[in-house]
Structure 1
Amino acid sequence: MPRPRLEIADVFRNYGPAYRQVNAGHVSLPQLKVMSAIEACRSEALGGHVAGCAKCGHHHIAYNSCKNRHCPKCQGPAARDWMEARAEDLLPVEYFHVVFTLPAEIARIAYWNPRSVYGLLFRASAETVKTIAADPKRLGARVGMTSVLHTWGSALTHHPHIHMIVPGGGLSPDGTRWIACKPGFFLHVRVLARLFRRLFLDGLKDSHRAGQLTFFGDLDHLAQQDTFAQWLAPFRKTEWVVYAKPPFGGPEAVLAYLSRYTHRVAISNHRLVSADADTVAFRWKDYRIKSGDRQKVMRLSTVEFIRRFLIHVLPDGFHRIRHYGLLASSARKTNITTIRDLLGVQHAEQPHTPEPESEIITLTLREPCPCCGGQMRIIEIFRRGQKPMSRAPPREQAA
């Protein structure tokens, strides 16, 4: 994949200083850290090393990456490593993709309270699936799931939702049987949506009562407990959106999906079209169009583009990929071994791990020389702010 001619880093380097100055006091510390990390990523500011081929003598410079989870250039290698670990957990069963979305009005509360509301979104959606699946009238089994938080729409708008990958079945309550769901069908989305609505709204009310929510602007009046309860009441009668996609076509399809979603950031470098001091243009997909070409180009003021990118910066230490039920980290290996025994599968299948559809998968020392295939070795290391002594063409890659 060729290097994009325009990157988020270019926008931040050229117009970020002015944005920080104009919005001083309105940009959070985590957002400032993300801007600085992306600006410095794979540049002399972070140092790096010079790699040389032991066979043909080819040299290249590898600048260090920032490894920030919001950086578009750092997610390809991170996704690859994560997928290699998850491939060992795949089961020879159908997998389903379920999406839980918040109403736009509720999402406004998440905008000011990301840690509380996003955490509740994770818990409520996971509890919904576990509860409905455990119902003897439904599946009657203990299930597991992997949940991924996305906070954006294609136009960089604030749109928090959970992508959930669920194996099509679970363990019986006594753990002695694998109970498979019906072929091509997991659980009724309307039943899921109604329980999710109740659990989330009850949790939101509890968070308000515990003083964990703050309100600003035209939502300031919701700080009063009675007012907040009245404001929430209509949402208990509206239909919430839970969407279940058709099952994946096998383990490789599951990994292909995970490569696209687990380490995705709000916008990739390859979607950028142009940028100057006044306007940033980027490609986006208009899902309101039911048929035909959904691809369009959106133009935002540079200030608005940076603002939209930064609203998707997660709080420090907040995990955007979580595992629940049978796949919870504490018991995952034991549960997977048990399920494989029940299914008569002795060893985990090792499907081909697809390359993540993200930024460039960079050349590292575990990869051969691009010229002759020989082994690459580090011949020089240079620190932050230093320049390499060896002369070699720089490459956009992580060290």
Structure 2
Amino acid sequence: MLEVADIFRIHGPAWRQTVPLSLGQLKVMSAIEQCRTAALGGHVLRCSGCARLEISYDSCRNRHCPKCQASAAHRWLEARQADLLPVEYYHVVFTLPAAISAIAWYNKAVLYGLLFDVAAQTLRTIAADPKHLGAHIGATLVLHTWGSALTHHPHVHGIVPGGGLSPDGERWVACRPGFFLPVRVLSRLFRRRFLEELAALHRRGQLRFFGEYDALADPAVFAQWLAPLRAREWVVFAKRPFAGPDAVLAYLSRYTHRVAISNQRLIALDERGVTFRWKDYRAKGRTRYKVMALSADEFMRRFLLHVLPAGFHRIRHYGLFANPVRRDNLAKIRELLHVTTVDIAPVSDNTSPDTAQPTFVCRHCGSPMIIIDILQRSQPIRAPPAQRGAA
């Protein structure tokens, strides 16, 4: 099966000599190229049932690698199962307009962080309003920066229980069945608060502008550029409630550790470039599923648009689910809902996957496989040699 790693290995070395890439992008390319190869070492295994010998090479564990995220998602979901409540859950999406997405590319850490915080603040503010829900809520937000065609399209997906704690913390306040919060109200507050914070960042000199956006460094030009965004509708939508906790977990398994494109969507690498499947959300029905061909250089450029800043957390919890208070709040809510308390281990979303103990099962007979030798990695994961004109 064609993989992103194949494209990087075949076309990456020449392309890196012609374009400026950040150190983070170079490291991602290197990690994906080396993933599950002899370069990273591995294990020699013997099946305890049929005595078959096998070599298993180690993974790169990079969060942008299509091959590594399935196991990372599985571990994360196991930690989250105990957090689910026996209530309706809703899926809410907050999207940045194209104009702001363009400057977000040069200000990833600042504007992605702002997107998280303003989306969470919007949900909590409207939910706390007695005209709507009148309760303190919790939310889990997941950042995605891509559209299906690998374009830069920052948005956050929110998973939110349909209710919250009353202001005095003594009652569970449920939303109306099938309806969480009014989307229009969420959209207007999200727009206002984001633009206010964006203007404040500009006043403090915390935004950077390059190329065609150079002029936005001037306060008067920036204010003029912001004006149309105040009148435009911003995309916020809420999907119907999930069909129970199992559906919430199924959704989270698809979204929490997703990367810009999976290997399963790749079709071919040939003289036309890279051909892959994508979904056109503006079309309807079966016509929205399409095929696109990009040159290998353009495919790599688009993939690397979505490399996150080092240390940036793409899954965050807010309100009742904030890490310091989540355990106590969930216990309180279960008590109010008269459901059995579940033991919740204090697991961090950012625990290094390197601490997980590998387990191996024979693909032929299903018996456990025993590690009989360890193959040392030949080199650490590092960026390829610096290319000319690197940023």
Structure 2 length-normalised TM = 0.91
The equivalent residue for 1:172 is 166
Cα distance in 1 for partners of 2:301, 2:173 equals 47
Cα distance in 1 for partners of 2:224, 2:358 equals 60
Listed one character per residue, the Cα deviations across residues 311-358 of structure 1 (whole Å, up to 9, x for unaligned) are 0000000000000000000100000000000000123499xxxxxxxx
* 1:274 CA drift (Å): 1.2
SS state of the match for residue 175, structure 1? coil
Aligned letter for 1:322? Answer: R
Cα distance in 1 for partners of 2:44, 2:219 equals 60
* 1:291 CA drift (Å): 2.4
Aligned letter for 1:256? Answer: A
* 1:278 CA drift (Å): 5.6
The answer to whether residue 371 in structure 2 is matched with residue 378 in structure 1 is yes
The equivalent residue for 1:158 is 152
The equivalent residue for 1:11 is 7
Cα distance in 2 for partners of 1:72, 1:277 equals 24
Listed one character per residue, the Cα deviations across residues 61-97 of structure 1 (whole Å, up to 9, x for unaligned) are 1101000000000001000000000001000000000
Q: In 2 relative to 1, CA 21–279 (structure 1 residues): closer, same or farther, beyond 3 Å?
A: same
SS state of the match for residue 73, structure 1? coil
Which of 174, 180, 184 is residue 178 of structure 2 equivalent to?
Answer: 184
Contact 1:83 1:258 in 2 (8 A): yes
Alignment of 1:91-110 (within 5 A): 91-110=85-104
The equivalent residue for 1:69 is 63
Aligned residues: CA RMSD: 1.5
- Bigger shift: 291-300 or 167-176? 291-300
Cα distance in 1 for partners of 2:280, 2:225 equals 31
Q: In 2 relative to 1, CA 293–234 (structure 1 residues): closer, same or farther, beyond 3 Å?
A: closer
The equivalent residue for 1:311 is 305
Extract unaligned runs of 5+ from structure 1.
351-363, 387-399
Which of 5, 27, 34 is residue 21 of structure 2 equivalent to?
Answer: 27
Contact 1:54 1:374 in 2 (8 A): yes
Cα distance in 2 for partners of 1:327, 1:314 equals 24
The equivalent residue for 1:359 is none
SS state of the match for residue 293, structure 1? helix
Listed one character per residue, the Cα deviations across residues 231-281 of structure 1 (whole Å, up to 9, x for unaligned) are 111211111110100000000000000000000000000111111466111
* 1:365 CA drift (Å): 5.2
Listed one character per residue, the Cα deviations across residues 99-150 of structure 1 (whole Å, up to 9, x for unaligned) are 0011111110101111111000000000000000000111000000000000
Contact 2:36 2:58 in 1 (8 A): yes
The equivalent residue for 2:261 is 267
SS state of the match for residue 145, structure 1? strand
Structure 1 length-normalised TM = 0.90
Cα distance in 2 for partners of 1:27, 1:50 equals 36
Q: In 2 relative to 1, CA 277–315 (structure 1 residues): closer, same or farther, beyond 3 Å?
A: farther
Cα distance in 2 for partners of 1:344, 1:59 equals 52
* 1:373 CA drift (Å): 2.8
Q: In 2 relative to 1, CA 365–112 (structure 1 residues): closer, same or farther, beyond 3 Å?
A: closer
Q: In 2 relative to 1, CA 205–123 (structure 1 residues): closer, same or farther, beyond 3 Å?
A: same
Alignment of 1:346-361 (within 5 A): 346-348=340-342
The equivalent residue for 1:397 is none
SS state of the match for residue 285, structure 2? coil
Extract unaligned runs of 5+ from structure 2.
345-356, 380-391
Identity, % of aligned pairs? 64
The equivalent residue for 1:218 is 212
* 1:374 CA drift (Å): 2.2
Alignment of 1:118-129 (within 5 A): 118-129=112-123
Cα distance in 2 for partners of 1:44, 1:277 equals 29
The equivalent residue for 1:358 is none
The equivalent residue for 2:198 is 204
Cα distance in 1 for partners of 2:193, 2:157 equals 18
Cα distance in 2 for partners of 1:322, 1:122 equals 8
Cα distance in 2 for partners of 1:198, 1:178 equals 30
SS state of the match for residue 84, structure 2? coil
